[in-house]
Structure formats: C-alpha cells, structure tokens
Amino acid sequence: MNSIPLDDRFSHHTTAVNDVNLHYVIGGQGEPVLLWHGFLETWYCWRKIMPALVEQYTVIAPDMRGYGDSDKPTSGYDARSLCKDFHQLVQQLGFEKIHLVAHDMGAPPALLYASDYPNEVMSLTYLEEPVLLNAHLEQIFKFSPQSTQKGGLWWWTFFLAPDLPETLIAGQERAFLTYFYNTYCNDPSAIEPEAIEEYLRTFATPDGIRGALGVYRSIFASIEQTEPLVQHPIRVPVLALGGETVTGEKVKTMMAAVATNVRGGSVDRCGHFIPDERPDYLIEQLLTFFQDVAQRSESALT
C-alpha cells in the first residue's frame, strides 16, 4: 500500500467494482469531486491540489485499473469499461452527483461518464488530452514537421505492438518515465523525485507496465465509443484546458465538437502535466468553475 505520507484529512481504501479491486483516497465533506489521473501516474498526481479542494469538497482520487494499487487485469481498458469502474465506485460511496476532473488518458473515459450519466455529473474538467475522434487524431498523426516535433506521439502506436514494449521498458522504467516528464513539462522540476519514486513503486513490475499500456491497446474501441458524441453532444458544463507548450487552445476547440457548454483555453507557462506544473492556477480555475456551475444550477431552480 502507498507509503507516501498523507494529510490526515484523507484515508486510503480498496473496494471491488466491475470485477476489479480499486484503490482510492478520499477526504472532506461537501459536493464530491472525482480526480481521474492519466497515463504513467496515479492518484498521487493530484497531491498538490487535494489539500485546497478538501476545504470545501469531498475529494475522491482513485487509481484506475492497471495503475497504482488497483488491480491490473489483462482486459477492460477501453474508455467505457474504465467509466463503469469509477461509476460503480461513486455509487458505492453513495453520491448522486459529482464533479469530474480528468487528465490525459483519464479524460476520455470521464467524457463518456458525462455522456452516459448526464444527470449524475455537475461538471467535467478535461485536461491536456485530445478528444478521441478520428477527425482529430488524423490531424494529430499527420506526418509533418509540425506534428512530429519531439518525435510526435510515437508511443500511441508503439504500444500497439504485442509484448515488445514490455520487453524494452523492463529494467528501464525510470528512464522511460523521466523521458516524458523531461520532454513534456515546461519545468521538469515540477515533478519532484518523491513523486517519481511513488509512480515507479507500482509501474516497475511486469503487471504495472502491461496495465499502464492497456489504455492505448484499447484505443480503437475508445474512439468508436466516443464518435457518437458528435451527433449527441454532452450538455454538462465543461472546462477544457491545455498546457501552452503542448496542446494549448486545441483542447477547448476539440471539446466543442462533442459538448455544447465549453469554456477554458491555454494555460500559460505550462506543459502537459497541469496538476503538477500549475497547481495554484488549476485550483483557482476549478473553484471558480464549480462555484459558477452551482450558481447557474440554483438560478435554474428559481
């Protein structure tokens, strides 16, 4: 179990949902906010914003299947399966409506959550991830000097090869993780050595590597699950943010294809890892967004 010291307002738990055991951290009171991590990270990527959110909200930070201290099965990594995992967790905890905050590869299943259970989602915050539509991905993977800067998104296709990624990553897990932090952070020091050690604790195992790659190996199923949102966009309020040096305004632009109520934009002086790099800015944006959603909801009832 996690060895990182934890604010005494939070506690660790494990529960069975959708045929897997999920680890999660929870604390606070008030409206629930579910924090959904992405590739190569765990619940711990939210460590810098959880203390501020817990002052006003119930904070739930799970590990997705395949990550951290959750089970690492061989299947169930498509966006809808991951969505069902966390939906069942929220139901077990007894919450009727939640705010979703999702980063990287946690964002596509969070988008489906907002689509599948619109009456149970107060808001969706979508951080630093393309919307998984063929039209968007064809542009991203277009072979050009612009799209292949820093090597392009080479890992999206590399991970589709069976077995080879596990073979090449094994024994080089630290170099693999730090490559992404050094390449896609505006300031790599934002991810401190203690955080890297925590991620390596569960990633640097055969199951940890295989589990982490699962979201990419299920990518075509996730795209197929997302495409219907073009014809049936979500009405849940969305905050879409991209780091200035990575996706920037594109996240908001892409989200507008599948959602009717979108705000957001580019985060200055920030790369891919927004919760690590600009936590104070993210906290400010989230609190303002949540409060605005609450006020609009109250106005609609009067």
Query: What's the average model confidence in pLDDT over 177-183?
Result: 96
Question: Is 293 part of a structural domain of the chain?
Answer: yes
- Residue 298 has what pLDDT? 76
Question: How far is Cα 296 from Cα 200, in angstroms, rounded to an integer?
Answer: 42
- Residue 139 has what pLDDT? 83
pTM: 0.96
Question: Is 5 part of a structural domain of the chain?
Answer: no
- Residue 150 has what pLDDT? 74
Q: Find the CATH number of the domain harbouring 218.
A: 3.40.50.1820
Could you report the per-residue pLDDT of 104-132, keeping only the tens digit for each? Answer: 999 999 999 999 999 999 999 999 999 99
- Decide if pLDDT at 188 tops 70: yes
Query: Which pLDDT band holds residue 3 (cuts at 50, 70, 90)?
Result: low
Question: Is 2 part of a structural domain of the chain?
Answer: no
- Residue 2 has what pLDDT? 54
Number of structural domains the chain divides into: 1
- Residue 147 has what pLDDT? 66
- Residue 257 has what pLDDT? 98
- Decide if pLDDT at 31 tops 60: yes
Range of the domain at 102: 10-301
Question: Is 169 part of a structural domain of the chain?
Answer: yes
- Residue 148 has what pLDDT? 72
Could you report the per-residue pLDDT of 208-264, keeping only the tens digit for each? Answer: 999 999 999 999 999 999 999 999 999 999 999 999 999 999 999 999 999 999 999
Could you report the per-residue pLDDT of 138-178, keeping only the tens digit for each? Answer: 888 877 776 677 778 899 999 999 999 999 999 999 999 99
Query: What's the average model confidence in pLDDT over 64-73?
Result: 98
Question: Is 4 part of a structural domain of the chain?
Answer: no
Place of tokens 């969706």: 124
- Residue 274 has what pLDDT? 99
Query: What's the average model confidence in pLDDT over 70-93?
Result: 99
Query: Which pLDDT band holds residue 4 (cuts at 50, 70, 90)?
Result: low
- Residue 142 has what pLDDT? 76
Mean pLDDT of all residues belonging to the chain: 95
Question: Is 3 part of a structural domain of the chain?
Answer: no
Count of other CB atoms within 10 angstroms of residue 300: 7
Question: How far is Cα 22 from Cα 100, in angstroms, rounded to an integer?
Answer: 17
Question: How far is Cα 224 from Cα 218, in angstroms, rounded to an integer?
Answer: 10
Q: Which amino acid is at 30?
A: G
- Tokens representing 195 are 């955080």
- Residue 299 has what pLDDT? 74
Question: Is 172 part of a structural domain of the chain?
Answer: yes
Q: Which amino acid is at 7?
A: D
Count of other CB atoms within 10 angstroms of residue 205: 14
- Decide if pLDDT at 29 tops 90: yes
Burial 174-198 (b: 16+ CB within 10 A, else e): eebbeebbeebbbebebbeeebeeb
Question: Is 225 part of a structural domain of the chain?
Answer: yes
- Residue 69 has what pLDDT? 98
- Residue 247 has what pLDDT? 94
